[in-house]
Amino acid sequence: MADKPDGELDPARSARQSGFQQRLAAGEFAVTAEIGPPRGADTAPVARTATLLRGWVDAVNITDNQGAAVRLSSLAGSIAALRAGVEPIMQLTCRDRNRIALQSELLSAAALGVPNVLVMGGDHPRHGDHADAKPVFDLDSAALLRVATAMRDKGRLMSGAELKPPPTWFLGAVENPPGPPRGDLDLSGPEAAEATAKALHRLAAKIEAGAQFVQTQFVFDVAAFAAWLARVRDLGLAERCYILAGVGPIRSHRALAHLATLPGVVIPEAIADRLAAASADRIRAESEKLCSEIIGQLAELPGVAGVHVMAIGAETAIPAILEQAGLPVRTR
């Protein structure tokens, strides 16, 4: 498990630390999950899912128009999770807002009691339900992390204007540990080495900008992830930022094929064959068993502070997966 990283809030503000942050700071294995807000003017679906996960996770990510498709806002979903008794991690993408709107959204989240914010670039609109929408990307994720850090620690907007009072958040980012180049399974080759170097530089830049925790892309190849994590530890990055490995069940053979195309997702042949061999009505159960096994393996890796379970549309399976992995129910 990761040591306490630098960049924590100062002791005078420790009472404002989120429960998620406190668990990580105590060196306990943390669990987060993901909730996608609905396509409709109703927070009840978020509240129902949060209630289902209460006691099993330390916090839930509320996605921000995931897949560049219009949904209930991450801020509204975060408030619904709070009211359901589950700590939210509000995702905030750079895709849809300029720096004025981004800073306003951050202030609003703090004022409404949202304790954790995860910053990301966001999928391009061409991939969503409004392909002709104009992308903003006024700031990238590292720049927005610097802005949020300055708002919290210096009480200043980008304009230099003072914030009274300044907000408090536990700040996070995402990362895609590099996989092998397409069509090349040689992780020791020059292309893979270059991809790894770029990913480590990107991670270091986000940590330098203020990321206190990082959630990764899905991990299926634990050995490859462990090799990347060893490099992260060698650079001292795991001592400055908590690393939560992304995991999740696979709902169908079609989903398996899609996941294999995503950047940062490495599915070993043995795992692909195992899931492919499962019948259509058994692949979910087999993938849930696999997910619990992977969680158990990740929990043993030095530098892994927890897992982030991504199972949008299959959240009801999360408690059983965590129980099968041997993770205890949360008592605080």
Output phi, psi for 218, to 5 deg: -50, 135
Whether residue 32 is predicted with pLDDT greater than 50 in this model: the reply is: yes
> Which is more confident, 3 or 275?
275
Residue 229 lies in a domain: yes
CB 68 within 8 A of CB 125: yes
Question: What distance in Å separates the CA atoms of residue 233 and residue 313, rounded to the nearest whole number?
Answer: 34
Give residue 3's pLDDT.
44
Stated as kind and residue range, the H or E segment containing 307 is strand 304-309
SS3 label, residue 285 = helix
Global confidence as pTM: 0.90
> Which is more confident, 5 or 13?
5
- Sign of the alpha-carbon torsion through 229, 301, 221, 253: negative
Strand partners, 38: none
**Mean of the per-residue pLDDT values of the chain:** 90
Whether residue 280 is predicted with pLDDT greater than 80 in this model: the reply is: yes
Strand partners, 89: 61, 116
Count of domains forming the chain:
1
Question: What distance in Å separates the CA atoms of residue 2 and residue 236, rounded to the nearest whole number?
Answer: 11
Residue 5 lies in a domain: no
DSSP string, 79-109: HHHHHTT--EEEEEESSS--HHHHHHHHHHH
Question: For the chain, what percentages of helix, strand and coil (3-state, to nearest 5) are there?
Answer: 40, 15, 45
Residue 1 lies in a domain: no
b or e along 196-233 (b: 16 or more beta carbons within 10 Å of the residue's beta carbon)?
A: beebbebbbbbbbbbbbbbbbbbbbbbebbbebbebbb
Question: What distance in Å separates the CA atoms of residue 298 and residue 293, rounded to the nearest whole number?
Answer: 9
Confidence of residue 332 (pLDDT cuts 50, 70, 90): low
CATH number, domain containing residue 98 = 3.20.20.220
Assigned token pair, 281: 């009505």
Residue 116 lies in a domain: yes
Residue 330 lies in a domain: no
Task: Give the count of beta carbons closer than 10 Å to the beta carbon of residue 255.
Answer: 18
H helices within 3-89, ranges in order? Answer: 19-25, 44-53, 74-83
> Which is more confident, 177 or 305?
305
> Which is more confident, 4 or 102?
102
Nearest to 205 by CA among 119, 283, 278: 119
pLDDT tens column, 206-228: 999 999 999 999 999 999 899 99
Residue 278 lies in a domain: yes
Whether residue 245 is predicted with pLDDT greater than 60 in this model: the reply is: yes
Range of the domain at 141: 11-324
Mean pLDDT of the 44-52 span:
97
Residue 318 lies in a domain: yes
Nearest to 118 by CA among 305, 261, 244, 248: 244
Residues contacting residue 87 through CB under 8 Å, at least 6 positions apart: 18, 19, 20, 58, 59, 60, 81, 115, 116
Query: How far out from the chain centre does Cα 149 lie?
Result: 18
Residue 6 lies in a domain: no
